[in-house]
Structure 1
């Protein structure tokens, strides 16, 4: 007699909060719970995307848990759970998800049919059970013949990589579905596999997932009926309990482990490559970068170059070559050259100003050698990170021209005219970085209150003026708003509402677009990460945010739109027309007395580095009189000095109100 063993079970049907209103736990929480329960492997399969896959992989990477990748994909006929066995399968899944998102004219909707799987299932394993599969949908309405025919179609598409997964539950509907799927699998000779249809990590999250169902379906919790969870069995369950549930079907339990053993793909093996910038015939990328750098350095520093400049350039180029970053610098230089030729103001910012190569290439306007800046703050062999070069551009149409230039030059099949934004076609090698919009206190309260049956007027009154501080910290003001809305804060329902709001905070709500990050890829980016159309025409968005992209080695270039640069771009021609002065922003006098007089009075609105409230409060006290004073000012109003309580002591010592004390005499020259 075959016995069902807990060690045989691997959970293959599990979704996270990145299924957007269909799951109640973050990927990290699922990993934590799986480790507590002794799982050896766990698959994450969110709806229509790989949104949570990077975080799932990262949180499991340093643990004994094997993180398996997949997605629950919606087709017109129903949902299929597709698991990735190989890199080829991963590429096909990414393309399939991109296709489904690109077909819908409405952002967030998804359109595929089973016909889209023809010839595109290699490296993918399919679970065709679950509550919403094409087969289940037919069985639900008594269409047994159609269900069997559907199973044969799927078998033709997937062959021996197809299973019917079933769940066991105290819920009568789930048991009825499980029996029907078991009978069908026997009739068409398909193997069964056990799964849990996991929607949350721990039992206590059931109420939150019910609330998400209420929000998704637009019905109050009290009216959910069968759409609410009848128990907590869809949490990640102890494998020993799963073995008990499937003790009469030990082979279905063992199949889960055998499937997991076939899933060899790991998220750290995406096959991503940064694109190469075109170079002259016969030259390597590093040779071309060296040539451009020396030409630019001669323009910047004059000829012949001093030994100090030559030494610094050689040092930087050596490190760039060792790290294989020459293509990255060439592409950033290419973007800057496009801007110059198109008369678009552009300026590199951040630690890139510490690089003499960036200065020579015209990416930045700060003389890193003359200012004696440390290159290793920008790039070093030890850090093992890609350099971060942010480009400031005028906001609006000018920035959009640069974005569309990248799509045309590096976007593969995307070929939009220079001045006409078009939606990037499938296969593009360029896309914007996503921004995961999470529930904040106010948005969570608004959504949750609807689920608890409050009227729109009550919701408005309760959420009005609600600050970002914790609900517990502002209990008095929250109680007042509940009272104003005619709601008793002490009622059981309202206590549950407050608890629900706290549970929702920080969970993903929907996908947005990063303000300026762009991912570039050699070849099809939609084989590395699924893409979605952005709300703005001519844009596509990857399904991951900047941290996820960085964790998986995807290279981001930031094109940041600044309103003040747009103002300057309009102002420079006006100055030329009215006064005949041809302004060069890179060669403005650094010691203009009238400018410093305005700065000392905090008359700096529009000067984005020193226009914040904290900066404007500090300027009259510090009274900058030189460029270096401004460097100090900007560096002073940062999280480190503020949290470290260094701001006031510095200002007092600078003004002579407090003596300067050195921990050691050797520090005095500094």
Structure 2
């Protein structure tokens, strides 16, 4: 490898990447090299990758070859968010206009060409044609492209299903324009992490522009254009699971046990990890939490690390389209003999039981069976890649046949080998990618199995990411023994945290509509806060804001001759004078009243109402309804006559004690019932740590013969059953021939529903739109995998607040 790197003069490239990785280590930012770089022993020795390519028998030519005539491709996975941005800004500082390039910038991000797609095209065309917004919303929902498109699903049919008259001229024009602008460029965006480096001034050879994000410069070309020009690129990719693992490890290592766990040196072959994977208990676990992965894990029964590598690659379009999944699983279970198309392929395919699963295996097959060099094999991969050319493919097939004839392979054997290569090369997943991902699968499963409180806290703090909404993660955590404590203005931080007793305290970040600056001000619980915020509030742009309704539209806010402000929205008037300073409480730093909270944190009325509704003000001595009753007084501050210690010339006889008694006056409203608290939780935080919505309807559902999710695996295969729940995922994969897969959640867990194409056609609107479903169908229990094949789909009205779902992704 070193000889080839020297010959191709690539040492500087490797050292730049090493410099990035070294910076991450110095700044305590978790980093892992991924992609074809994992095939390189040099990358492993430099600490760029964590996968041993010799031990994994990975193919170096997949990473670097003399014949390719292009730069190697190294992807660096970083924690998404601020930590990744620090690394990107470091590159701009070191190699940008103000760093090591006095004459001009040497680094910039590549662009993405954003095109018109289903929903975005519908909204744009709808606006141009002045179609009413509510109708545009309905159009956008039906114009969405699924992964799989039913030939019967015409535009006319979809429009009729949502009650839109297709004969209206404006709708016909809409349909024609919508089809015409599909995939046309809309605007330039930033690539997720591709950074181009240049030895001289970058703006001498490519056009640059300032990005909308501060401190970023973007090349006006996409990554393919840059590759065609031979520009050097490193991908700094933000991966949510990297942030989760780093945050969870920080929580674990910072505990009382003073552990020193890290990504590379986690205890190997942990039985609890493999038990969790074998049972498909994988909600929240990287790469293996989808329905398809959950359906495969019990069949695969992973027992060692390489099994995870296989699992990551198995549920991909390549193995599915190439019909590799079932033969591999049958051979693994001993139901089918392990065979090879030719004896020379046994060393290549032995680890995957004679079934080609990885891109590297296809390249090795070409090298062994047809005598290709490493560079020729890489040329084959590119010929069958995304931008495949028929002419080039025919040339490569001709070379394959000629090469195999020289090796003495011909006839049906040669055709079988060629078919496996040509049908798989487009979708084949690199083994190096699988190995890097498998390490993150193992790490996330290990943390979930042994440190669930830390794992789920890190997951909740790094949303959005993964396959499931935080509401589902909270319920899954509770089923794994994690206890949650509600949001409390006296105790909660902005982010979720693990308390000393192991319980997870929800953070203020989950309060819907709460500004981050206000949430952090509450969490700081500083005795000297924003005392005048309620009297003279301003938006982030410096404009006045009505303290009652939150209006920041300058045209609706007037300044009166008396130096007060008047809101034309809610007819509220307030003074510009700063309020009297609330007495500090250095001994506790706690809030003594709602007024104290408002004054010190500068809350708006809507924010205060949300906090009251979710019970975050209960520590101040109220139940939820009483707090809602009291907040009106808190957002109507006293005028200048009251500013002197709450007593002005008109109210000399009004003292602090009487005022406090008035505030604490009992509310005439009855406390919220459990269903009302549930609705308030979902309205205020989009989740609940209380009972699941289905738990409140369980007595009624039990009378209707509806089983719980946990009852299904104990049932009899082939039995007719009923199951109900909140819809948390809807999928229609391109490889499933029109079948739709639903995931329902109840208070005991999740159940998987299979919907036939004809049934989906019949119940389409219910399946797509209903938040809660009752399914009647046939129970299927095969090889440890439980599902219900739907026969009837019923919308479960009034089941509870609408859950967030992961639809058709």
TM-score (norm 2): 0.40
TM-score (norm 1): 0.49
Tell me which of the two structures has the higher relative contact order, counting C-alpha pairs closer than 8 angstroms and 6 or more residues apart. Answer: 1
More helix, by proportion: 1
